Amino acid sequence: MDANIFVYGLSGVSAECRAFLHRCSEEQVTGISSYHVVSEVTHRLMCIEAQSTGLAGARPRETLNEHPERVRQLTDYWSEIERLLSLNILLLALDEDIIRAANQEREQYGLLNNDSLIVASMRNYGLSRLASRDAGFRRVSHLTLYSPSDV
């Protein structure tokens, strides 16, 4: 699973993503992601919370970097991450081989770093089905992409 599935599901933006996460938690489907994706979700949820509470504007990352006291005021994102971590999602770790292999994915498919790490991890673990809204994954010939239609 890509980060956007978690973000859309946990934030309530997508009923399809929320239902998918529920199906994973109920073990109706096997959900697999990686710890680097959880890190990306954490960052994105922090930025969303900062914007929605008025602690940051159009550039939340920059604003939060400049105002660490505002970061300390954020709490809702962590509740959502705790929820994510309590789901029945298998979280895979990255290692040096995957990080090196990701460069080949970037070169072959023109993926950005986080996406290339997902593809390299999937290849390493023999996985071929990905839940993501990111259309860039369509360029990866050996993947079957499942995208929510309600966002």
Domain positions in the chain: 3-146
Asked if residue 137 lies in contact with residue 110, where contact means CB atoms within 8 angstroms, the answer is no
pLDDT one-digit tens code per residue, 27-77: 999 999 999 999 999 999 999 999 999 999 999 999 999 999 999 999 999
pLDDT one-digit tens code per residue, 70-122: 999 999 999 999 999 999 999 999 999 999 999 999 999 999 999 999 999 99
The fold of 3-146 is: Rossmann fold (3.40.50)
Q: How would you label 83-107 residue by residue, b for 16+ Cβ within 10 Å and e otherwise?
A: ebeebebebbebeeebeebbeebbe
